[in-house]
Amino acid sequence: MRMNFVLIFLITIFSLSLFFYGRSKTKSISIEKNIKLNALPKFYGYYLVLWCSIPSLVFLLIWTLFEPVIIKSIIIETAANQGAIFNDKNEANLIYEKIKAIYAGTYFGDIDTILKESALSYAKFINLFTNSKIVLIFAIVIASVIYSLKKIKNNNKARDDVEVILKGLLFASSLIAILTTLGIIFSLLFESIKFFSVINIFDYLFGTNWSPQRAFVRDASAITAEEYDELKDAFGFIPLIAGTSFIAFIAMLVAVPIGLFSGIYMAEYASVKIRRISKPIIEILAGIPTVVYGFFAALTVGPFFRQIGENLGLTVSSESALAAGLIMGIMIIPYVSSLSDDVINSVPQSLRDGSYAVGATKSETIKKVVIPAALPGIIGSVLLAVSRAIGETMIVVMAAGLAANLTINPLESTTTITTQIVMILVGDQEFDSPKTQSAFALGLTLFIATLVLNYIAQRAVKKYREKYD
Amino acid sequence: MELMNEIKIKSKNLNVYYGEKQALFDVNLDLNEKEVTALIGPSGCGKSTFIRCINRMNDVIDICKVSGNIEIDGVEINDKNLDVVSLRERVGMVFQKPNPFPKSIYDNISYGPKIHGKGETKSELDEIVENSLKKAALWEEVKDRLDEPGTGLSGGQQQRLCIARAISVNPEVILMDEPCSALDPIATAKIEELIDELKKTYTIVIVTHSMAQAVRVSQKTGFFHLGKLIEVGKTEKIFKNPDNKMTQDYITGRFG
């Protein structure tokens, strides 16, 4: 690992020095041969730098990714040849970890001959791989430098070539972003498929009981028919979507009116001075970490509601949908307010003028002309806020409760999709138990729900924008 | 000899400032009732600023300060206590770019009467809408599609819709801020014809960049330059025999 840093450092230093070399070299060529260069000298410098660094660094990255995998398979195979016995992948992994620990000098158990031999060959391979890595990288650097030097001596169009290389770099970066997203989607998808191969998708979508702990240590691949009967009603999605929508609904009851009204105030009434001060203050709300909202909800608002409830003779759970929804609503206010401020601002002034000119007051103009004109955009901003609300995790984990009650009483505790995902994946788990896999199914469902909402919202906002541009 | 109509609007020493910048300097201009007054002059000379003072549309702009007097029928309108809403009910305005609301044609017209409580019943409203559209010479073209969006009309139709909207609250004065600058010649001709018809009922002030238009539609013309009213008089006189050299230069196209 340390070798990698040394290599990166050397490549960087060498490439940078090539910049100055390339620049002065082409200058002198142009003077000697009295020719006009095809680009400014600095582009020849850039050209050398890019050619020297990119191929070698890309090679280093790929090598570093694959080296452990290859060494591992070789070592496990040699260990097996030497007579090590392992029944499955897990045992093989265990032996490999032991070998690595022996090599690193951090293994304190008994070392038998098989382990010793394997550790020796591990050391041998590590050395071999490191050495060949260094040799190959030097070869690549030398080859690419020779190639690019030859190019610049022939007075290539370095400016255009640099452009092409940079375009490639930018493309690669966006490709990485897209591939990562796809990777996340597929990992969700595959794990969910595993889950749905055990639990019928209709039992999941329409079941009204959620108690995944019943499936804790069961191996998904070995569930009998009787066991399935017992399990099939443990993964009912209905209480979770009900709880999620319920809390999101309460949050919207708070966030939409307050956010919309403050957006209207900001866009239409606030003077430049007030706007300059208050808009950042509202937007600070969006910057508060949700965990802070979470303990505010759990420690302050929840008990406060319970106290009020007691005084009124009501039973209020200290983890209530009301407390969680209220705080979530407050968290979402800046999204609604800032987005609706934007859409209201982009309603053309000429419409307001038209309304004032027939003698409408400011509030009449806002109510009857500005808001109707901005409505699609406002709806879009509300939908974006809804998708924030159903994806929000920390506040509900801390303030909404864990039990999957199917209830519409805001004073009782309820739970959400995100809370359950957290509960399932916290602590030790068996990765092939339906309980763990159900988290991925929940994640996929949540992802699809927010994706649809975002899509609709963005369409609405876009449609609105096009209308006046 | 044509008799001069009575004075409807009178401005005395009108000064307008946008922040530090002064946009109008001591403008004294009288506008006659049931007549078309055209205001001409190069861009940025203050003619739009002037007409926006008549219905106090400049109130909408925070940094705009107005001093001096404007009287309509002898009543000062720059008075702080004056009800701006009822002023604008009396002084309608049509803008440079057609700005129909993104509502149906019917709702575009009925908007003004509704907020002023005119036309309590549906049939009264229907009548106002029909009359306004007829006066704006748009009725025949849209009578079968009153529930379609006003933004779907052509540019010229949109501008006539805006004129109908201004008429709908039954004003005494109509201000027009370059109403034809976004329209093609045929639509322009229709609007000019309409202005000719409207002046029988309304006092009209029109800002225009087209001198031909000023000649065609107006009886009186004022020439603005750099925020000052340079010359005002009967349209014929201004265009045939102006007193001021600058007016002469402008109308003959030597600057502006």
CATH number at residue B233: 3.40.50.300
Q: Is residue A443 part of a domain?
A: yes
Find the distance separating the first CA and the last CA of chain A, reported in whole Å: 55
Mean pLDDT value of segment B153-171: 93
Residue B164 has pLDDT above 90, yes or no: yes
Is B200 contained in some domain? yes
* Tens of pLDDT, residues A396-448: 888 887 777 787 788 888 888 998 888 888 877 777 778 888 889 999 999 99
- Note whether A242 and A147 are same-domain residues: no
Whose tokens are 């020439």? That residue is: B223
Distance (Å, rounded) from C-alpha B140 to C-alpha B146?
A: 11
Please indicate whether, in this complex, the C-beta atoms of B101 and A351 are within 8 angstroms of each other: yes
Number of domains observed in the structure of chain B? 1
CB contact (8 A) between residue A372 and residue B102: yes
Residue A12 is predicted with a pLDDT of 92
Together in a domain, A343 and A457: yes
- Between strands B36-40 and B220-225, the pairing is parallel
Question: What average pLDDT does the segment B48-68 reach?
Answer: 90
Q: In this model, does residue A469 exceed pLDDT 60? A: no
Place of tokens 């158990």: A109
Instruction: Please report, to the nearest 10 degrees, the dihedral formed by the alpha carbons of residues A81, A83, A84, A87 taken in order.
Output: 90
- Whether A241 and A355 map to the same domain: the answer is yes
Is A174 part of a structural domain of the chain? no
Q: How confident is the model at residue A453 (pLDDT cuts 50, 70, 90)?
A: confident
Residues from chain B contacting residue A356 (CB–CB below 8 Å): 57, 60, 88
Q: Flag whether A457 is in a domain.
A: yes
DSSP string, A218-270: --GGG--HHHHHHHGGGB-SHHHHHHHHHHHHHHHHHHHHHHHHHHHIIIII-
In a domain, A186, yes or no: no
- B58: domain range? 7-100+173-251
| Residues A140 and A247 both lie in one domain | no
Q: Are A314 and A409 within 8 A, CB to CB?
A: no
Report residue A405 as tokens. Answer: 């009650």
**pLDDT for res B158:** 94
Q: What's the confidence (pLDDT) of residue A285?
A: 83
Least CB–CB distance from A351: residue in B57, B87, B99: B99
Mutate: best of B111, B132, B163, B174, partner A, most A CBs <10 A: B111
Question: Residue B62 falls within a domain, yes or no?
Answer: yes
Q: Residue A115: is its pLDDT beyond 50? A: yes
Q: Of the ranges A93-107, A210-224, A252-266, A387-401, which one carries the lowest mean pLDDT score?
A: A210-224
Residue A86 scores a pLDDT above 50: yes
A143 with A239, same domain: the answer is no
- Classified as helix, coil or strand, B224 is strand
Find the domain containing A430 and state its range.
Answer: 234-468
Among A55, A59, A52, smallest CA distance to A21 is for: A52
For residue A104, the model assigns a pLDDT of 83
Average pLDDT, chain B: 91
How far is it, in rounded angstroms, from Cα B126 to Cα B1? 42
Crossing angle (nearest 10°) for helices A41-81 and A113-153: 160
Q: Confirm if B200 and B34 have CB atoms less than 8 A apart.
A: yes
Q: Answer whether residue B183 is part of any domain.
A: yes
Query: Which of A28-37, A194-203, A227-236, B101-110 has the lowest average pLDDT?
Result: A227-236
Asked if the model's pLDDT at residue A220 lies above 70, the reply is no
A243 in Cβ contact with A210 (< 8 Å): no
Q: Are residues A146 and A284 in the same domain?
A: no
Domain boundary among A137, A156, A175: A156
- In degrees, rounded to 5, the angle at the alpha carbon of residue B43 between the alpha carbons of residues B25 and B76 is 40
Residue-wise pLDDT tens digits, B222-254:
999 999 999 999 999 999 999 999 999 998 887
CB contact under 8 A, A352 and B169: no
- For chain A, helix, strand, coil in percent to 5 are 80, 0, 20
Q: Would you place residue A139 in the very low, low, confident or very high pLDDT band (cuts 50, 70, 90)? A: very high
Residues 255-314 of A with CB under 8 A from B: 271-272
pLDDT digits (tens, 9 = 90+) for A336-388: 999 899 889 989 999 999 999 999 999 999 999 999 888 888 888 898 899 88
Q: What pLDDT was estimated at residue A42?
A: 87
In a domain, B144, yes or no: no
Q: In angstroms, rounded to a whole number, what is the distance separating the alpha carbons of residues B167 and A24? A: 77
Q: Do B57 and A357 touch (CB under 8 A)?
A: yes
Q: Does A351 touch chain B (CB under 8 A)?
A: yes
Establish if A197 belongs to a structural domain.
Answer: no
Of the listed ranges A123-137, A152-166, B66-80, B109-123, the least confidently predicted one is: A152-166
Residues A312 and A433 in one domain: yes
Q: Do B111 and A355 touch (CB under 8 A)?
A: yes
pLDDT of residue A208: 85
Residues of B in contact with A358 (CB under 8 A): 88-89, 92, 111-112, 115, 165-166, 168-169
pLDDT of residue A384: 87
User: What separation in angstroms does the CA of A48 have from each of A38, A142, A155, B215?
Assistant: 15, 12, 13, 71
pLDDT score, position B1 = 41
Nearest CA in chain A to B167: A358
Mean pLDDT for chain A? 86
**Same domain, yes or no: A243 and A102:** no
Give a yes or no: residue A285 inside a domain: yes
What per-residue confidence (pLDDT) applies to B92?
Answer: 93
Would you state the pLDDT for residue B130? 94
Q: d(Cα A239, Cα A404) in Å, to the nearest integer?
A: 6
Give the end of a domain, one of A156, A180, A214: A156
| Chain A touched by B156 (CB under 8 Å) | no
Looking from the CA of A318 toward its CB, the CA atoms found within 13 Å total 9
Chain A CB contacts of B55 under 8 Å are 357
Q: Which of A156, A175, A207 is the last residue of a domain?
A: A156
Residue B38 pLDDT > 90: yes
> Is the domain of A272 the same as that of A150?
no
pTM: 0.76
Q: Are A356 and A460 in a shared domain?
A: yes
Assess if residue A213 is contained within a domain.
Answer: no
Shortest CA gap B86–chain A (Å): 6
Q: Which two three-digit tokens encode residue B73?
A: 């029928």
- What is the pLDDT at residue B99? 93
Token pair, residue B155, equals 């540019």
Share of chain A above pLDDT 70, in %: 96
Decide: B16 and B54 in contact? Cβ < 8 Å. no
Q: Cβ(A417)–Cβ(A446) under 8 Å?
A: yes
The answer to whether residues A280 and A417 belong to one domain is yes
The pLDDT confidence band at residue A222, using thresholds 50, 70 and 90, is low
Q: For chain A, how many structural domains are there in total?
A: 2
Strands B91-94 and B173-177: parallel
Residue B60 lies in a domain: yes
Within 184-243 of B, beta carbons closer than 8 Å to A belong to none
The answer as to whether A253 is a domain residue is: yes
A259 and A150, same structural domain?
no
Whole-Å CA distances, B83 to A128, B60, B69: 92, 14, 16
CATH of the domain at A379: 1.10.3720.10
Whether residue B134 is contained in a domain is answered as: no
Which of helix, strand or coil describes residue B65? strand
Measured in degrees and rounded to the nearest 5, phi and psi for residue B173 equal -125, 140
Q: Encode pLDDT of A224-251 as tens digits.
A: 677 777 777 788 888 888 899 999 999 9
In a domain, B1, yes or no: no
Listed residue (A63, A210, A196, A216) closest to A140, CA to CA: A63
Handedness of CA B146, B152, B154, B157 (dihedral sign): positive
B121 falls within a domain? no
Q: For the segment A282-339, what is each residue's pLDDT rounded down to a tens digit?
A: 888 888 998 999 888 888 888 888 888 888 888 877 778 888 899 999 999 999 999 8
